[in-house]
Amino acid sequence: MAGSRTVVGVDGCRAGWVCAVRSADGLSVRIEPDFESVWERARTADVVVVDIPIGLPTDDRRQCDYEARRRLGARASTVFFAPVRSVLDAPSHECASERNRDSTGFGLSIQAWNLVPKIRAVDSVLQSDSLARRQVREAHPELAFAAFAGEPLTESKSTPEGRQRRLDVLRTAFPDDDVASVYHETLAETLRRDVARDDILDALILAAAARHPLDTLPESPPRDATGLQMAIHVPRVQSDGRKLS
């Protein structure tokens, strides 16, 4: 039964990774220091959805990033273009940007460079574990929020109004759970220098997404040089936000 499935939504934070878990026991959040720990505790889950680029291009920008940006409209800037795979072992942002420009014609933003250690950590697990390759999916929180809301959210998640709007959407996404209590309990149990408010919100919406059938951007995604899909997964949600069977 769908209700007995265990799903995990994962978002990076300064302390490591925020993991929102929805199982037959309910909804909970935990913090893991590294992705190896995330995967060891999540490997029995049905689906793990993470906000990090997985399939990495070799000589061009990913089609899924372009499609995600088009779908988000005014919120397009929340989607960073994934770096090319050769960036993963670059020693500096300058070197990484040069490699990316040589391969794609575009440099690498500092925001994307700051993600490289986490991209590398996820990639290491996927390259070494065939089960992880089958179970772990890339997604983007703003696309997931838009799917449940029926439109992209115009409010920035860094503002009180934006956080409240996302909590309202999360209540729709988790109609059988007290998601606001889980959110506020996690805030009380963590420090903002370790876990930001929007890290928790993003992990929760990814867990909600993982409970639904997942469509891909693009519809027929290509694979990278290591065989990983270059795709962003988006939940297929009914207009009232209920989970599809």
Domain ranges (residues) in the chain: 1-81+113-245
pLDDT confidence of residue 21: 98
> What would the mean pLDDT of 195-215 be, rounded to a whole number?
98
> What would the mean pLDDT of 105-114 be, rounded to a whole number?
94
Helices (H), 47-140: 63-72, 93-104, 110-128, 130-135
Looking at every residue in the chain, the average pLDDT score rounds to: 95
pLDDT confidence of residue 238: 73
Place of tokens 């990495």: 56
Asked if the model's pLDDT at residue 242 lies above 90, the reply is: no
Give yes or no for a contact between 234 and 147, defined as CB atoms under 8 angstroms apart: yes
> What would the mean pLDDT of 22-35 be, rounded to a whole number?
97
> What would the mean pLDDT of 31-52 be, rounded to a whole number?
98
Asked if the model's pLDDT at residue 240 lies above 90, the reply is: no
**% of the chain surpassing 70 pLDDT:** 96
pLDDT confidence of residue 3: 54
Evaluate if pTM is beyond 0.75: yes
Asked if the model's pLDDT at residue 82 lies above 60, the reply is: yes
Asked if the model's pLDDT at residue 245 lies above 80, the reply is: no
Element (H, E) at 231: none
> What would the mean pLDDT of 88-117 be, rounded to a whole number?
96
pLDDT confidence of residue 244: 35
pLDDT confidence of residue 51: 98
CA–CA distances in Å: residue 86 to residues 56, 91, 156, 243: 9, 11, 32, 39
> What would the mean pLDDT of 147-159 be, rounded to a whole number?
95
> What would the mean pLDDT of 139-166 be, rounded to a whole number?
96
25 CB-near residues (< 8 Å, 6+ apart): none
> What would the mean pLDDT of 193-222 be, rounded to a whole number?
98
